[in-house]
Amino acid sequence: MISTSQIRTCLLLSSVLGILQNCQVSARKYNNQSDPDWPKTGEWLKLSRDLSLLAELYGPFESSDYEDLCYIDNEHMTSPFDIAKDMRGEGICMQYSDCTNSFCLGELGAKRDNLPAYVLMAKEEKDIVTGVQFANKYNIKVSVKSTGHSLSGASTAKDTLLIWLAQYPEDNTIQLDYQDSCGDTESHNVIGVAAGQNFKSIAEAVGDDYHFVSASEWTVSASGGFIQGGGVSFTSRHYGLGVDNVVDFRVVLPSSAVVIADRCTNSDLFWALRGGGGGSFGIVTHMNYKLHAPTPIVRFSFNLEESSSNDTTVSTFLKYVAENLPNIDSRWGGRFSWFGLDMYFAGFPRGAQVTFLDDFIEFAMTNLNLPLSFWEKNHTRSYDSWSRVLPELEETTGQAYVAETSFSRLVPHDFATEQTVEHYQLLESLAKSNTLGYTNVLLGQNINKIPESETSVHPAFRESAFLLTANQIGYEKLLEKLPNNVTGASKNHVGSLEPNWRESIWGEHYERLLEIKELYDPRNIFSCYQCVGYEGEETDIYTKGKKLNPPNQAPTGGTIDQPTSAAQVLSTGSKLIIIMIGFSMYLMS
């Protein structure tokens, strides 16, 4: 087995020698379902009895259950809420039922063999503690899931006890004079956000009274993967990333102890949780999150429509984007692609006009050759608050995420503004080859005023102008121009095929994250794909379709034939345990 210090040496060597090495650890020996030490049915039943009244335990699962329980028709594909809350109830479905982005392995995309063994649907913090204690006792890995939105499939893993938070009770308590454990009073009011709680619930709780930093889709969970992966919002240029808005976390550690992490208490953990990715350092059961003074929002949606197939128009448009958007007023944010802009201004319409709209419209009328009818439409819309924008984003963004954002690259501000020709040509070539994603996000301004060391997101986040998204072919072009020694990627915008993901997602912060991981999870029972300290099989764009077994992998123990019998449902009070007959017979023999 390779230890974490060996990984550190490997990482050091790769940076000194400038070679990209695959510094992955070989899998430790955890119990899997075919091991004799795997808990017997009675022990699982006891776990289910130890949970709170409304909590549930489901399992064990096998691949075919995914087909049965997660069959997603077109209607469901456009309803991420159904998937997040897992309407069928067992908590194993992921946002991308076809495995487009998930680390499903098997015959890549065809077979779901990355399912947990059991799912514990937590209703109270005590359930999470009980689940983690059980996993420690029986040497079982833990996976964590709020909505299943992870693009790399990090919220599911084979042979794990999955702790599922989508039905955890919401909080939404607003505090006016919040004090952290240093005794300092926070200048913002804060809202309490519980595990699994999504941005819809925050929007409904604050209404027009406050602004808050959210994902583009309100189905995403706030205190889970979004925040822990950095948290990019269309208003981040003014209000910061998600991680810049958290004031404390409450966490069930891998040891099962419950702690607070903020600036003065467990500050290393606080740092790690602000960018180091979900599912690695423990389970966040609560966070306090900054609220900002209310602001109206102006949305400017500009779509070139038929002209987006005219190369000259697209080139002229992208040249404007490349030259002007990196330094636009901080109250503007949003996204662009080859076919248009979708921008948001935190302020009143007059401010939006003088800071950007007047200039852009004059440019477009003069240079983009758009028909007169185009200008008869109104491309702006005003909203009283961000909470009113979010419902309108639900139907559009999800689809864009499914199709296009499997890869991302942070574009350094210096590159965007000093190598303008190269920058513009890069955008143009991505657009012309149809490889640019739909959601290319504006970064910079106040995001870049926070020191790189303040949070654990890739240091490049603090000096970037844009986050570009691309499909695989586009990504290879992006990597050539903007390799890992220049910049990196956003944890929340990376699919399962990212090569050298440790370096790509965290850059020089990975080593410190690994040290903190070792401190809080020395047995590495929280091990998810593309997460700090991940152990196990890997895949990437160069090996697509193949499982990469890490070198020196520990023997996998005895094997048994997979049971083929249908699931039987046993009821234990309010808790259900589905037991595969063949499997339980094996266990009892």
Ligand X SMILES: Cc1cc2nc3c(=O)[nH]c(=O)nc-3n(C[C@H](O)[C@H](O)[C@H](O)COP(=O)(O)OP(=O)(O)OC[C@H]3O[C@@H](n4cnc5c(N)ncnc54)[C@H](O)[C@@H]3O)c2cc1C
Q: What is the contact surface with ligand X in residues (CB under 6 A)?
A: 80, 95, 144-151, 154-155, 165, 195, 215-217, 220-221, 223-226, 228-232, 278-279, 283-284, 397-398, 401, 492, 528, 531
Q: Which is nearer to ligand X, 14 or 439 (CB)?
A: 439
Q: Which is nearer to ligand X, 333 or 364 (CB)?
A: 333
Distance CA(223)–CA(195), nearest Å, equals 6
Distance CA(283)–CA(460), nearest Å, equals 27
**Cα separations (Å) of 105 from 223, 265, 500, 540, 559?**
28, 39, 18, 11, 19
How many CB atoms within 10 Å of residue 61? Answer: 24
Nearest distance in Å: CB 287, ligand X: 9
How many CB atoms within 10 Å of residue 490? Answer: 27
Least Cα distance to 126 among 74, 75, 185, 51 occurs for 51
Q: Which is nearer to ligand X, 281 or 320 (CB)?
A: 281
Q: How many Å is the Cα radius of gyration of the chain?
A: 24
- Do residues 435 and 229 make contact, with C-beta atoms less than 8 angstroms apart? no
Q: Which is nearer to ligand X, 128 or 205 (CB)?
A: 128
Nearest distance in Å: CB 282, ligand X: 7
Least Cα distance to 513 among 275, 186, 333 occurs for 275
Nearest distance in Å: CB 540, ligand X: 18
Q: Which is nearer to ligand X, 368 or 436 (CB)?
A: 436
Q: Which is nearer to ligand X, 278 or 296 (CB)?
A: 278
Distance CA(5)–CA(15), nearest Å, equals 15
Q: Which is nearer to ligand X, 80 or 499 (CB)?
A: 80
Q: Which is nearer to ligand X, 189 or 439 (CB)?
A: 439
Nearest distance in Å: CB 495, ligand X: 10
Q: Which is nearer to ligand X, 279 or 340 (CB)?
A: 279
Nearest distance in Å: CB 447, ligand X: 12
**Cα separations (Å) of 356 from 110, 197, 300, 352, 466?**
47, 35, 10, 6, 17
Nearest distance in Å: CB 185, ligand X: 27
- Do residues 506 and 530 make contact, with C-beta atoms less than 8 angstroms apart? no
Distance CA(363)–CA(40), nearest Å, equals 70
Nearest distance in Å: CB 476, ligand X: 22
Distance CA(309)–CA(418), nearest Å, equals 29
| Both structure tokens of 20 | 């990209």
- Do residues 242 and 230 make contact, with C-beta atoms less than 8 angstroms apart? yes
Q: Which is nearer to ligand X, 147 or 406 (CB)?
A: 147
Nearest distance in Å: CB 150, ligand X: 3
Q: Which is nearer to ligand X, 180 or 217 (CB)?
A: 217
- Do residues 513 and 532 make contact, with C-beta atoms less than 8 angstroms apart? yes
Nearest distance in Å: CB 57, ligand X: 18
- Do residues 38 and 561 make contact, with C-beta atoms less than 8 angstroms apart? no
H or E element that contains 17: helix 4-17
Nearest distance in Å: CB 380, ligand X: 21
How many CB atoms within 10 Å of residue 74? Answer: 7
Nearest distance in Å: CB 584, ligand X: 28
Distance CA(59)–CA(162), nearest Å, equals 10
Classify the C-alpha dihedral 285-290-295-297 as positive or negative: negative
| Both structure tokens of 507 | 């850059």
